[in-house]
Structure 1
């Protein structure tokens, strides 16, 4: 018989459970942040894979910046958890997190030259080999020739590159970008989008980018989460979100959409049939986010073809006659039309100016067409205007 000391005790499940997760990226679970009675972020769940370029996209007040500040440690969550590289950082001090933030304001030290701005974090931590590391980082952001200039002597785009270099040289697990291009003019902003993506690809770090600019998010990010009123409406690749939105908010906020009321008449195989003001249209089943009753038929303006009445349009299956052109805007690469349909709604059409097709004038009679595979169907209970005002 064994003595009491030799008796094997059953393992306590609570003690046996690991204290951290094995996920090596950023993981957010049930994250909530309230300011008094206002819920800025509500029960947010999010996984950001290590080494990815992730964007939080949404209008002002949607909760994206609050989420970023909680990851950075600048705001304390009301509830929920944040883990990074397997470690719980929910309540860790900002300086104890392997995270750096780049702000719109650059926040450079005006009395230090560019070299010393970039070296600041290394010198503070008394890291060795500072000269070589700073030289490599300035080479990465293509500012070697500006090393001994002061921030005031650089352009806005160059200052933003210095801010990036200063954050990246600390080798954080995650780099947070809070509207970093908002202070730049349009042309410079577009060139910096490409530049930041190049840098992220080269260094291989996780970038989380907060922005209200749809084009910026789609140009730079591998994955985009569209936020609205403290929750994520939809998450996916830029192409997935644009081509197959799951809500009227995403359809209107990410680009422009024609949303036309219709009634589901049946489902056969992988096609949902819908009556659109007396015209039968088809929706691929995987793009139909409601299967009964009324819905919003969605089609992007550039997917709509326009032709004179009776013309043979290359979009078999969906021909909508009886349109009258009410507005024409020539913008060089394309001509944008508004076409009033027999039921009174105006449909947007973006026609590429290839030189093959005529340009219509206001008052012309036309018909429209689109390929069924480009249409989507949304829940009629959703606000048809959701996201449109925020996008504009």
Structure 2
């Protein structure tokens, strides 16, 4: 487990809004324990109104428990939840302007699509039901399916019915609990785009819980990566991927090469690190350790591979002495494992543009990368943290 689970982004009081005047969802020191097990630990979080926010993490990290507390389906052990300045910590689910869409959709099988969507309005005896239902079915592009039963629809269509049924109640916040988990890969990807389109059109706050890093990064404006009940790091998807602050985030979001190194010098804008006898540079803004030892991180697609002595387009960090130990051709790219002189195998993802020949197992190669793509993490952290992603909910 990472040693920096409580990331500054989630704990710095200077960066948190005043819950009493904040128009979004604010969690303060939110804690939930089940006996001796702490599912969520003193979580501080602001979710801006109208944003698409993702809680991302592996099974058991606390993301679903956090969502259920926001929905009113779990009672916090301590802490507060406010929405648009109103304390809803102990409000019943029906008393808070929040709706939840679950992975199993929970549609009424005996009602047609129109009546499924109209259900909440009819229960509250609202007027003008027909116009609202028709508008919502048009939003989710299901107008032509209005009189079909749920079992007559595909999984993706059922998901859109569930969205429409939740959104027609005009919730301040829509909670999405692993909403695409039951869909196949191709449909899941199309639904990612569809849900993002719907969120943009309605302008409501969406909070999406998922263990799928690609799903979170594709859909959300902001992603909070959770681990062991706390937020490891929070930010825009590109920021988290390009500049992770812990080994857990580096491994959980995609894949990373993490290589031992010793800090030789620190300047205002660059840190120089001895990596098994080769000096490499890391931008100071991407160096996240104050110690002398660290993990030099580089994403596999940022590593260039070439012949011995070949001039690679990555001035500054060239590492000789590599031998290709495995080759996997995956269409758009070729994925190599390259054994380095110190015994570690590094991953290299090389785009198949046709400009370079494919290397074979046993070929001697050199690797290179641009210094601005590297990052440096605390050596006290586990280099394998976050690497084993699990597909279960948590």
Which bin holds the TM-score, normalised by the shorter protein?
over 0.9
What residue number does 2:296 align with? Answer: 297
TM-score by length of 1: 0.95
Determine helix, strand or coil for the equivalent of 2:388.
Answer: helix
Runs of 4+ in 1 over 3 A off after TM superposition: none
CA distance in 2 between counterparts of 1:234 and 1:292 reads 20
What residue number does 1:3 align with? Answer: none
What residue number does 1:329 align with? Answer: 328
- 1:298-346, CA deviations, whole angstroms, 9 ceiling, x for partnerless residues? 0000000000100000000000000000000000000000000000000
Please tell me whether the aligned partners of residues 56 and 210 of structure 1 are also in contact (alpha carbons under 8 angstroms): yes
CA distance in 2 between counterparts of 1:132 and 1:159 reads 21
CA distance in 2 between counterparts of 1:351 and 1:56 reads 31
- 1:32-87, CA deviations, whole angstroms, 9 ceiling, x for partnerless residues? 00000000000100000000000000001000000000000000000000000110
Please tell me whether the aligned partners of residues 254 and 391 of structure 1 are also in contact (alpha carbons under 8 angstroms): no
Q: Which has the higher contact order (CA 8 A, sep 6+)?
A: 2
Deviation of 1:20 (Å)? 6.6
Deviation of 1:283 (Å)? 0.5
CA distance in 2 between counterparts of 1:162 and 1:85 reads 27
What residue number does 2:285 align with? Answer: 286
CA distance in 2 between counterparts of 1:123 and 1:83 reads 28
Determine helix, strand or coil for the equivalent of 1:313.
Answer: coil
Determine helix, strand or coil for the equivalent of 1:386.
Answer: coil
CA distance in 2 between counterparts of 1:391 and 1:129 reads 46
What residue number does 1:81 align with? Answer: 80
What residue number does 2:366 align with? Answer: 367
* Cα 1:108–1:391 shift into 2, 3 Å: closer
What residue number does 1:320 align with? Answer: 319
Deviation of 1:269 (Å)? 1.9
Aligned runs of 1:49-128 on 2, under 5 Å?
Answer: 49-128=48-127
What residue number does 2:224 align with? Answer: 225
What residue number does 2:24 align with? Answer: 25
Deviation of 1:391 (Å)? 5.8
- 1:349-383, CA deviations, whole angstroms, 9 ceiling, x for partnerless residues? 00000011110000000000000000000000000
Deviation of 1:390 (Å)? 2.4
Determine helix, strand or coil for the equivalent of 2:389.
Answer: helix
TM-score by length of 2: 0.94
What residue number does 1:307 align with? Answer: 306
What residue number does 1:245 align with? Answer: 244
Please tell me whether the aligned partners of residues 251 and 387 of structure 2 are also in contact (alpha carbons under 8 angstroms): yes
| 1:135 aligns to 2:103 (yes or no) | no
CA distance in 2 between counterparts of 1:343 and 1:124 reads 68
CA distance in 2 between counterparts of 1:43 and 1:309 reads 52
Please tell me whether the aligned partners of residues 59 and 390 of structure 2 are also in contact (alpha carbons under 8 angstroms): no
What residue number does 1:183 align with? Answer: 182
Aligned runs of 1:263-278 on 2, under 5 Å?
Answer: 263-278=262-277
What is the total number of aligned residue pairs between the two structures?
374
Please tell me whether the aligned partners of residues 226 and 234 of structure 1 are also in contact (alpha carbons under 8 angstroms): yes
What residue number does 1:389 align with? Answer: 388
What residue number does 2:348 align with? Answer: 349
CA distance in 2 between counterparts of 1:248 and 1:323 reads 24
CA distance in 2 between counterparts of 1:291 and 1:75 reads 40
- 1:215-242, CA deviations, whole angstroms, 9 ceiling, x for partnerless residues? 0000000000000000000000000000
What residue number does 2:15 align with? Answer: none
What residue number does 2:43 align with? Answer: 44
CA distance in 1 between counterparts of 2:120 and 2:182 reads 24
Determine helix, strand or coil for the equivalent of 2:321.
Answer: strand
Specify every segment of 5 or more residues in structure 1 that has no aligned partner in the other structure, as ranges: 1-18
CA distance in 2 between counterparts of 1:202 and 1:110 reads 28
CA distance in 2 between counterparts of 1:69 and 1:127 reads 27
Deviation of 1:386 (Å)? 0.3
Please tell me whether the aligned partners of residues 88 and 96 of structure 2 are also in contact (alpha carbons under 8 angstroms): yes
Aligned-pair RMSD on alpha carbons?
0.9
